Homo-oligomer: A and B are copies of this chain.
Amino acid sequence: MSTLAASVTEICAAARAAGRALAQVDAGTKDRALAAVAEALVERTPEILEANARDLEAGRADDLGAALLDRLALDEGRVAAIGAGVRAVAALPDPVGEVVDGRRLPNGLSLRRIRVPLGVVAVVYEARPNVTVDAAALAVKSGNAIVLRGSRSAAQSNAVLTRIVAEAATGAGLPARAVSLVAGGGREELADLATQDRFVDLIIPRGGEGLKAALSAVATVPVIYAASGNCHVYVDASADPDSAERIVVNAKVQRPGVCNAAETLLVHRDAAPDVLPRVLGALRERGVQLRVDGRAKAAAGEALAGTLLDATEEDWDTEYLALVLAVRVVDSVQEAVEHVNAHGSGHSEAILTEDLAAARAFQLGVDAACVYVNASTRFTDGFEFGMGAEIGNSTQKLHARGPIGLRELCTYKYLVEGDGTARG
């Protein structure tokens, strides 16, 4: 169980010991513990809502905006949903012990590479208290101890949620202190946590560029940034216009505040006269602000001309996370690939085309975690990809790229068995 008064180092050292024990716990015990956690969350809902009410009160006194207060707020339904999420994680296959590959070596040694937990994972996150439980469930399932560091605004809710999770898990036979919360949301605690490389194997920050900058300046623990997405949809010369309209609107409008939403539309010059008037018209109808280059403006037609803004170089590099879209006409799929590789963040990129050669050139050429053909960028997500859940989405290339699920919270080790075998 977390001790709020404990130092960050003491918490992380205890997590290291708990992680060593948890790595050896069988899947049945872990799943029963997660079921107990889900049950405890529902049973102790009044306790959770009371702590949450104190956070909300403090938030209103601090003039938190309505959107932040909504993200912070829990009610019976939301707590029940958090519990259901824990049960869903318990139902996933255990990644630990999975044999990744193996062979018999010429000298007779048997070699197996098996998935094992990383050890201790730290997750740094902002307002939403549900992350406390979601992240803890993924960590427990993957055999990792977890150190949580939430925001100051959710301190009471996170403390109660962590206590309930830790008590239920320990009660069901998991090692004590496998789930802990670092109290205090300040930069000092963050720096303290990010330098515990003796005890912590990985930090996953879930937050904006400010958090990323604060961490990269100090971290000695390896970090995987659940990072921003400057995603593109490229409409090729041969794209089906109906499909293009549906997918571009989906990629921009369905949920504009998330990292897999599209931020720039690229259109082949041959498709522009047909596609741009209807696609841009459909976007304008849904309130999207359009920042277009000269050729896109020319192709958009008279009806829209008054509503279009001129794009600047900066627009190609901006993740709006809002109902804003940059639009550019390109001469070829190669130019689209170059634009994406120059300005994209390596998250999710889509080509819409009927032409196999163009699809192949785009998929081969684009350097990103997820490359789509005739589908919306919005599908990049651990649930959608069949991984069951995710703790974030990586745009890094090392270790985990794309959704970070249970397997990505593991490393591997080689088990090698001989018969008194020495090297010649």
Contact = CB atoms under 8 A, between A and B. Distances in A.
Interface of A: 20, 23-24, 103, 105, 107, 109, 111, 116, 118-119, 201-202, 216, 220, 222, 224, 240, 242-243, 246-247, 249-251, 254, 341, 352, 359, 363-365, 367-376, 378-380, 384-386, 396-399, 401-402, 411-423
Contact of A398 (B202, B250, B359, B420): B202
A246 B422 contact: yes
Contacts of A421: 247, 374-376, 379
Given A119-B367, A385-B105, A419-B374, A222 B414 contact: no
Given A371-B415, A401-B412, A423 B250 contact: yes
A413 B216 contact: no
Nearest to A248: B422
Contact of A402 (B103, B341, B378, B414): B414
A116 B397 CA distance: 10
Q: Which of A107, A243, A374, A379 has the most CB of B within 10 A?
A: A379
A250 B107 CA distance: 15
Name the prevailing secondary structure of the A interface residues: mixed
B119 A416 contact: no
Given A341-B20, A398-B399, A401-B411, A417 B373 contact: yes
Contact of A411 (B365, B376, B397): B397
A365 B240 CA distance: 57
A370 B411 CA distance: 12
A206 to B, nearest CB: 18
B111 A416 contact: no
B371 A20 contact: no
Given A246-B420, A375-B422, 17 more contacts: A105-B384, A250-B422, A254-B423, A359-B417, A369-B414, A371-B416, A372-B416, A373-B415, A373-B417, A373-B418, A375-B417, A375-B418, A375-B419, A376-B421, A379-B423, A384-B423, A401-B411
Contacts of A364: 23-24
A236 to B, nearest CB: 13
Nearest to A366: B413
Q: Which of A254, A363, A420: most chain B Cβ within 10 A?
A: A420
A243 B398 contact: no
Contacts of A415: 363, 371, 373
A147 B376 CA distance: 37
A420 B248 CA distance: 10
Contacts of A220: 216
Contacts of A386: 103, 105, 111
A66 B185 CA distance: 57
B375 A109 contact: yes
B363 A423 contact: no
Contacts of A378: 422-423
Contact of A372 (B222, B402, B417): B417
A74 to B, nearest CB: 26
A242 B421 CA distance: 11
Contact of A420 (B243, B384, B399): B243
The 5 A-B pairs at the shortest CB distance, nearest first, are namely A375-B418, A243-B420, A250-B422, A397-B411, A378-B423
A385 B414 contact: yes
A48 to B, nearest CB: 31
A86 to B, nearest CB: 22
Contacts of A422: 246-247, 249-251, 254, 375-376, 378
A371 B23 CA distance: 15
Nearest to A240: B420
